[in-house]
Amino acid sequence: MSSGGKQDGAAAAGEEERKTSWPEVVGLPVEEAKKVILKDMPDADIVVLPAGSPVTKDFRPNRVRIFVDTLIIINRSWPELSAACSGGEGERKTSWPEVVGLSAEEAKKVILKDMPDADIVVLPAGSPVTLDFRSNRVRIFVDTVAGTPTIG
């Protein structure tokens, strides 16, 4: 692979070089990054994952994985249900607006200080979620590209 993130053998074979990585989208919101990638590779199958997610080792030439990290919003509990679930222990914190803009790992640390029994789930923004209420679950939705997307 050349330093420009394009396949080397394609030009030698008389084919147009195909871009294989997009370092220029690091730090962009996911939707903007998708637009850049699709402009270069219209047939891309883009997969958005939280940074650090395990991935399969199989290679797919049209798949581009985008790993996201920066927190955009935390799923808030339903106040009437969280009050009912508090068990008379006093007020229990149900949202953490102070962690918006932090990395998912930093946000987890802050949340766990306030709620050590939290079941924290990190998801890409826009992911479908179940509608059931769990008093110890905190969903963190992330949106900023954390690493260079590459094909595979």
The class level of CATH for 19-70+146-151 reads alpha beta
Amino acid sitting at position 98: E
How many residues are listed for the chain in this entry? 152
Answer whether 150's CB lies under 8 Å from 128's CB. no
pLDDT of residue 15: 59
Would you kindly state where each structural domain of the chain is located, as residue ranges?
19-70+146-151, 74-143
* CATH T-level fold of 74-143: Trypsin Inhibitor V; Chain A (3.30.10)
Q: Tell me how far apart the alpha carbons of residues 41 and 8 are, in angstroms, rounded to a whole number.
A: 16
Same fold for the pair 19-70+146-151 and 74-143: yes
Q: With a cut of 50, list the residues of the chain below it in pLDDT.
A: 1-4, 8-12, 76-88
Q: Tell me how far apart the alpha carbons of residues 144 and 152 are, in angstroms, rounded to a whole number.
A: 20
Rounded to two decimals, what is the model's pTM? 0.60
Q: Where are the alpha helices (DSSP H) in 104-149?
A: 104-114
pLDDT of residue 150: 75
